[in-house]
Amino acid sequence: MEIQKNYIVDTNVLLEDPNALFKLRNGNENAVYIPYHVLLELNRFKKDPRLGHIASQAIRNISKYPDQFGLLKTTSVAKIFSSQVDSHILEEIRESGLPEPILVTNDKVFQLQAGTHGIRSEAYKESVPAESEAKRYNGFVDNPALRIPNCFMWNDSGKPVFYGATEEKVVDYQHKTWNVIPRSIYQNLALELMNHPDIHIVTIQSAAGYGKSFLALASALYQTLERKTHEKIYVVKPMIEIGQKLGYLPGKIDEKMEPYTRYISDLLLKLHKLRPANRIFTSTSEVPPAYDSKRFELLPLAYIRGMNIENAVVIIDEMQNMSRSECRSLLSRMGEGVKCFCLGDIHQVDNPYLNIDNNGMNWVVNKFKGSRIYAHLGLRGDKSRGPITDLVIRSGL
């Protein structure tokens, strides 16, 4: 019989594979321990532009399953960490003499640190809307009694039934929006929601490669250039880097944003080939293409404060990297005649201060669910953007 091993994990292992803790534990066969200083190092790397999202994932794994891993204690902290305010706060709590103190913090590393000192901690409940509502609710209900405005339910024939605020219908037809033909039933339902005249805000949650941005742009072109129900298209996204920082970028706003929004230009040119969209361009021969600012505009999130957006289709991409306050600031800019598409993947949170529960996408789904002008859909299918992406999703790379 194999003897149980006692593994002590180094920081670089967790930065290489944040799931290494589970793999080393191998069910209940081995014991895994995390040194106190590894927590402190992960907390420091959380703000690193290249490693922040990996460190945050490792921290989430440790804090979500504390009973599966042992935290090693220490009586002294290395000098490089001794100046951290957290250490002094814990010392103050220990010396306060208060009976059974409870530390209220949303910092998961700080919660774990407090536990090693025998101090109970709790998260501030108002900071987290629910356990990933955007993951739990995918736009479908299983029981007619659970129906809410603008949801779907499968009927006995395997067809999706749409329950709108004022209508009920079987979606047994296929949309064709700006010559885009849906590749799956879920893409078809996404266009059903985006093109619906009575739904003003739609959130689309999916893994990478299922066509969120492509469908949103197709619907935006359809509504501004064909239906002419809106005058302009805005694309807004947070500027979160997951690799080496680019540093200062010269040029005007659109030139500064170009590295972050190149995929938008590529998708628009692809749609332009399917059906000419000349009115949003001043030139398609340039790389990236030049846009007519009266028809189409790319906006960094930091520039929307004070704006009043009216008669426009607004596409908010990567909403999972926006905080609750940023979502509130942005969505409160929406005036009359606005159609808003909020896109994101709650499993790809790159903002080191957010997670699968407290990101902007989850907040919107939690607070707006049930409104007559709102709808949500979890986009999925058998195929994504290509066979390599399919393999990545299936394999769990």
Instruction: Please write the tens of the pLDDT for every residue from 294-322.
Output: 999 988 887 787 889 999 999 999 999 99
Which one of 25-34, 158-167, 192-201 scores highest in mean pLDDT? 192-201
**Is 195 among the domain residues?**
yes
* Residue 211 three-state SS: coil
- Asked if residue 235 lies in contact with residue 298, where contact means CB atoms within 8 angstroms, the answer is yes
Sign of CA dihedral 289, 293, 295, 299: positive
- Asked if residue 171 lies in contact with residue 161, where contact means CB atoms within 8 angstroms, the answer is yes
Last residue of a domain, one of 94, 127, 160: 127
β-sheet bridge partners, residue 356: none
Side by side, the strands of the sheet bearing 338-344 are 296-300, 232-237, 312-316, 338-344, 201-205, 374-378
Statement: residue 383 has pLDDT above 70: no
CATH number at residue 21: 3.40.50
Angle, helices 36-45 vs 52-64, to 10°: value is 140
Rg over alpha carbons for the chain, rounded to the nearest Å, is: 24
**Is 376 among the domain residues?**
yes
* Residue 56 three-state SS: helix
Is residue 201 domain-shared with residue 295, that is, in the same domain? yes
Rounded average pLDDT over 125-131: 60
Statement: residue 127 has pLDDT above 80: no
Instruction: Please write the tens of the pLDDT for every residue from 318-372.
Output: 999 998 889 999 999 999 999 999 999 988 887 777 878 888 999 999 999 999 9
**Is 69 among the domain residues?**
yes
CA distance 307 to 130: 30
How many CB atoms within 10 Å of residue 334? 18
CA distance 345 to 351: 12
Alpha-carbon torsion, ordered 321, 325, 328, 333, to 10 deg: -90
Is residue 180 domain-shared with residue 112, that is, in the same domain? no
Is residue 278 domain-shared with residue 230, that is, in the same domain? yes
* Residue 279 three-state SS: helix
Is residue 142 domain-shared with residue 61, that is, in the same domain? no
* Residue 376 three-state SS: strand
Q: Which has more confidence, 116 or 135?
A: 116
Last residue of a domain, one of 94, 110, 127: 127
Statement: residue 172 has pLDDT above 70: yes
Domain hosting 89: range is: 6-127
Q: What is the reported pTM?
A: 0.73
Statement: residue 194 has pLDDT above 90: yes
Does the N-terminal peptide bond of residue 288 adopt cis geometry, omega within 30 degrees of 0? yes
